[in-house]
Structure 1
Amino acid sequence: MARALGAEPGGILSLDALLEEHSEAIEYDLIVLGLRLRMLGTDVLGWADLRSIVKHLPLESALLRTMYPEGSRWRTAEHLLADVADSLRWLAWARTDDGRRGRNMPEPIVRPGRKSTRERVGTATELDQMNDFLGWND
């Protein structure tokens, strides 16, 4: 019956688990909206309301900063600046003797959630994936 009404099973249990782990951050996000966690289960703030709020929190919300501390600091602007810095370093390197010989390439700025190039370069699987991407395995 719940599916017929558009509800998903386990919604309250999922929210409860999220509340157990991140209650302080959720409380803060609710305070910003003029609500309180103690209102949960009343006509002012139902479980469906909380689900909608949590599902559509902005990127700068306390919950997302708590759940993804490293990644939440990097927005589009930070990624673009890192790309610009990497490009400038690569261009400067390309004009050196090392660049002409293809050695000692500068290490890109490590982005959140990614390993440094030195930690991930050189495996056969990744080389095969790159060759597939470039169309060289056809």
Structure 2
Amino acid sequence: MDLLDYHRGRLSPRRLRVLIRHLPRESALVRALHGEAAEWGLTEHLLAGAVDELAVGNWLFVTANSGEQADPPPRPRPVPRPGVEPEPDPAATPAEIAAFFGAPARGGD
């Protein structure tokens, strides 16, 4: 396909628009317009979500089965996704929970 056919009158504007809209994710134009996000489709986002949920499940299992005196393992970070800024950890620290309920925080927390 020659893009000069558009200027020669052999390629309609509608046909050109359809061709551009249906370019594959690997095309140079799509990568130039969308950057790294062009490489992430529905499958990649679903897999990243599954990995995140599995990591949280494993973290909860290890945390629940650790000794009371053991330091808790760090909460897993989500898989970075293009175009999405990581959200801050919503979990409160033991000191924040104690302050909320008006109880003094324990020394080691």
- Shorter chain as denominator, the TM-score bin is 0.5 to 0.7
Match among 82, 86, 98 for residue 116 of structure 1? 86
Match among 60, 75, 92 for residue 105 of structure 1? 75
Unaligned residue ranges in structure 1 (runs of 5+): 1-34, 123-138
Q: Residue deviations 1:19-50, cap 9 Å, x none?
A: xxxxxxxxxxxxxxxx1122222232133332
Following the alignment from structure 1 to structure 2, what is the Cα–Cα distance between the partners of residues 81 and 45?
Answer: 40
Following the alignment from structure 1 to structure 2, what is the Cα–Cα distance between the partners of residues 67 and 42?
Answer: 27
Aligned equivalent of 1:77: 43
Aligned length in residues: 87
1:96 paired to 2:62:
yes
Contact 1:64 1:72 in 2 (8 A): yes
Q: Going by fraction, where is helix more abundant, 1 or 2?
A: 1
User: RMSD value over aligned CA atoms?
Assistant: 3.1
Say which SS state the counterpart of residue 8 (structure 2) adopts.
coil
Say which SS state the counterpart of residue 95 (structure 1) adopts.
helix
Q: CA deviation at 1:108?
A: 0.6
Following the alignment from structure 2 to structure 1, what is the Cα–Cα distance between the partners of residues 12 and 20?
Answer: 12
Following the alignment from structure 1 to structure 2, what is the Cα–Cα distance between the partners of residues 107 and 99?
Answer: 20
Q: Residue deviations 1:83-114, cap 9 Å, x none?
A: 111111101100123799x9842111111110
1:66 paired to 2:32:
yes
Q: Which has the higher contact order (CA 8 A, sep 6+)?
A: 2
1:41 paired to 2:11:
no
Aligned equivalent of 1:51: 17
**Which has more radius of gyration?**
2
